[in-house]
Amino acid sequence: MSKYLVTGGAGYVGSVVARHLLEAGHEVTVLDNLSTGFREGVPAGAAFVEGDIRDAAKWLDSSYEGVLHFAASSQVGESVVKPEKYWENNVGGSMALLGAMREAGVRKLVFSSTAATYGEPTEVPIVETAPTAPTNPYGASKLAVDHMITGEAAAHGLGAVSLRYFNVAGAYGAQGERHDPESHLIPLVLQVAQGRREAISVFGDDYPTPDGTCVRDYIHVADLAEAHLLALGAATPGEHLICNLGNGEGFSVRQVIETVRQVTGHPIPEVVAPRRGGDPASLVASAQAAREKLGWQPSRADLAGIVADAWEFAQQIAREQ
C-alpha cells in the first residue's frame, strides 16, 4: 500500500482515479480548490484538503509515494478569451506543484495531458511522436507542462508519465461527469434526453468524414483510470513517458447522437450550426504505446456501454437535485 496525492480529485476524472486507487488498497489525499469540482465527488475513504495546487508545499511531505495531477482549468473556449487564467492555473499551478514535490522528495508523477497538445493532426491515428501544434491556450498550457515535466525528470530525477487523453466519457458508480458549463458532447446530448435543453447543436456537417460531422475517440473513464494505476508502476526515475489514451476508434457526432437515441429512447432533435474554429475533423488516438509501455488493455470500448453508464449517472444526479 502506498500513499498518493490526487490533485483535482473532486473533479470528474480525478474522482474516478482516486476511487480506483482506494479500491487497489492505497491511501489517498485529494487536494482540490472546488473551483469546478464537487466536495461530494470525493470518494469515501479519501482524505480531503480544500486548497490550491499553488500552495501544495503546505501539504506535501515525504510520506507520499507520488502525485496524480488532474487539477486544471480545461474549457477550450474559455481559454481563448481568458488565456491568462490557463497560464496562471495550469502552468503556474503545475510549476508550484513540481517545486513542492522536489522539496518534499516526492519523485513520482502522473499528469493529465491532452490530445489538444497536437492541434490539427497531420495523420490519424495520432502517435506520440506527431507534431505538437496546439490551436488554443488550453492545449498550449498543457503542452508547456509536458515540457516542464521532461526537464524536471532529466534534471532532478522525477519519474513521470503524461497521459494524453482523447474524449473521456462514461461514469464509474457515483463518480461521473458534471461540468458547469458542460462542453462535452455525450453529457450535452444526455441533457436533451432529460429535457434540460431542446436540441443538440451539430457544429458543422461538411467535414471530410463519412457523415460530414467531426469524429472523436471516446474512452471510458474507468479504462482511463486503470491506465493511471499502470502508469504509477511504469514511472521510472529520470524518465518522462508520454502515452496517448484513447481506444483507437473514432465515432462521429451523428453516431454519438444516434447511440444516445438508442440508449435513452428519446428522439434527440439536432440543429446544424456553423463549424467552430479550431475543431479538427478527426481526432483518433493510436493506443499502441499505452498497450506496449503500460500493458494497458481497455475493456469498455463499446460506445453504447459508455453512453449507458453516463446516462445512469446523469439520471442519478437529476434525482438528487
Q: Are 80 and 129 in contact (CB under 8 A)?
A: no
**How many whole angstroms separate alpha carbon 193 and alpha carbon 199?**
9
Q: Are 220 and 305 in contact (CB under 8 A)?
A: yes
Nearer to ligand NAD, 18 or 308 (CB): 18
Nearer to ligand NAD, 204 or 246 (CB): 246
Q: Which of 12, 64, 118, 138 is catalytic?
A: 138
37: CB partners within 8 A, 6+ apart? 8, 9, 10, 11, 14, 15
CB of 93 to ligand NAD, least distance (A): 5
Q: What is the DSSP string of 133-197?
A: B-SSHHHHHHHHHHHHHHHHHHHH--EEEEEEE-EEE--BTTB----SS---HHHHHHHHHTTSS
138 is catalytic: yes
Work out whether 72 is an interface residue with ligand NAD (CB under 6 A).
yes
Work out whether 89 is an interface residue with ligand NAD (CB under 6 A).
yes
**How many whole angstroms separate alpha carbon 217 and alpha carbon 186?**
12
**How many whole angstroms separate alpha carbon 7 and alpha carbon 71?**
5
Work out whether 71 is an interface residue with ligand NAD (CB under 6 A).
yes
Q: Which residue has the cell 458534471?
A: 178
Q: Which residue has the cell 519523485?
A: 107
Nearer to ligand NAD, 26 or 54 (CB): 54
CB of 39 to ligand NAD, least distance (A): 10
The residue type found at 261 is R
Work out whether 52 is an interface residue with ligand NAD (CB under 6 A).
yes
Give the x-and-dash track for 254-293 against ligand NAD (CB under 6 A).
----------------------------------------
Nearer to ligand NAD, 283 or 308 (CB): 283
Per DSSP bridges, beta strands 251-252 and 215-216 are antiparallel
Range in contact with ligand NAD (rule: CB under 6 A) among 6-14, 149-157, 267-275, 306-314: 6-14
Work out whether 11 is an interface residue with ligand NAD (CB under 6 A).
yes
Nearer to ligand NAD, 35 or 316 (CB): 35
Work out whether 165 is an interface residue with ligand NAD (CB under 6 A).
yes
Q: Are 17 and 6 in contact (CB under 8 A)?
A: yes
Work out whether 114 is an interface residue with ligand NAD (CB under 6 A).
yes
211: CB partners within 8 A, 6+ apart? 205, 252, 254, 255
Nearer to ligand NAD, 82 or 266 (CB): 82
**From the list 24, 35, 233, 295, which residue makes contact with ligand NAD (rule: CB under 6 A)?**
35
Work out whether 36 is an interface residue with ligand NAD (CB under 6 A).
yes
CB of 20 to ligand NAD, least distance (A): 14
Work out whether 14 is an interface residue with ligand NAD (CB under 6 A).
yes
103: CB partners within 8 A, 6+ apart? 57, 60
125: preceding bond cis by omega (within 30 degrees): yes
Active site residues: 138
The binding site for ligand NAD (CB under 6 A) comprises 7-8, 10-14, 31-37, 52-54, 70-72, 74, 89, 93, 112, 114, 165, 167-168, 179
